[in-house]
Amino acid sequence: MFGLDAGIILIMKTISTLNVRETKKLAKRIFRENKKELAQKCLIFALQGELGTGKTQFAKGLGRALRIKKIIVSPSFTLIREYPFKINGEKGIFYHLDAWRIETPEEWLALGVKGLIKPGNVIAIEWPEKGRETWNKIFDRLPVKIIWVKLEHEDRDRRKISWNSKK
């Protein structure tokens, strides 16, 4: 995934993690890469990957980066879970979404996703590919930075994780 974002060249970085701890650490690292933009934007982590590749583990790592004490659990049945956080004196809300059961753009709109997008908030979406067009519509002209993260099985405990990053 290459692209131009306000003149900045975006590249795909790839790493293999060997266990859950490394996946969580990588989530923290990717958050740190983008942290500066949180003041002006809502950071959206679009977590793509088959069942069991570690999307929820990655979201837990984001929770750690945001110093959230509450345990981040899979939002499968609730669709959206929210966790307030405070880092460096700034308050925000971390929303964890699971798009697995969502079928239509209208369903997302009905859930009020647009209202969650505010600078300082962080959103992690599992199964974002379920609503790619919807996201484009929802996020159009809103202050968002989308970080696409792709997780793949390599072997039992090894995951290949790719994400878009600045050069």
Ligand X SMILES: Nc1ncnc2c1ncn2[C@@H]1O[C@H](COP(=O)(O)OP(=O)(O)OP(=O)(O)O)[C@@H](O)[C@H]1O
Write b or e for each residue in 40-61: b if 16 or more Cβ atoms lie within 10 A of its Cβ, otherwise e: ebbbbbbbbbeeebbbbbbbbb
Which residues from 79-108 bind ligand X, rule CB under 6 A?
none
Question: Which of these, 144, 107, 100, lies nearest to 125 by C-alpha position?
Answer: 100
**Can you state the angle between helices 20-34 and 55-65, rounded to 10 degrees?**
50
Beta bridge partners of 85: 92
Could you identify the residue written with the tokens 């939002």? 75
Which residues from 54-73 bind ligand X, rule CB under 6 A?
54-57
Write the DSSP assignment of 33-68 as a string of letters.
Answer: HHGGGGGTSEEEEEEEESTTSSHHHHHHHHHHHTT-
Q: Return the one option of Mg ion, ligand X, none that residue 154 interacts with (CB less than 5 to 8 A, by type).
A: none
Which residues from 123-142 bind Mg ion, rule CB under 5 A?
126
Task: Look at the alpha carbons of 114, 81, 64, 18 in this order and tell me if their dihedral is positive or negative.
Answer: negative
Inter-residue contact 83 to 68 (CB < 8 Å)? yes
Which residues from 86-125 bind Mg ion, rule CB under 5 A?
none
Piece of the chain touching Mg ion by CB under 5 A; list 32-40, 73-81, 131-139, 149-157: 73-81
Piece of the chain touching ligand X by CB under 6 A; list 14-22, 33-41, 108-116, 135-143: 14-22
* Interaction between residue 23 and ligand X (CB under 6 A): yes
* Interaction between residue 74 and Mg ion (CB under 5 A): yes
Total residues in contact with Mg ion, by rule CB under 5 A: 4
Contact string 18-57 vs Mg ion (x = CB under 5 A): -------------------------------------xx-
Residue 71 CB, nearest distance to ligand X (Å)?
A: 13
Binding region for Mg ion (CB under 5 A): 55-56, 74, 126
Binding region for ligand X (CB under 6 A): 17-20, 22-23, 49, 51-57, 74, 126, 157, 159
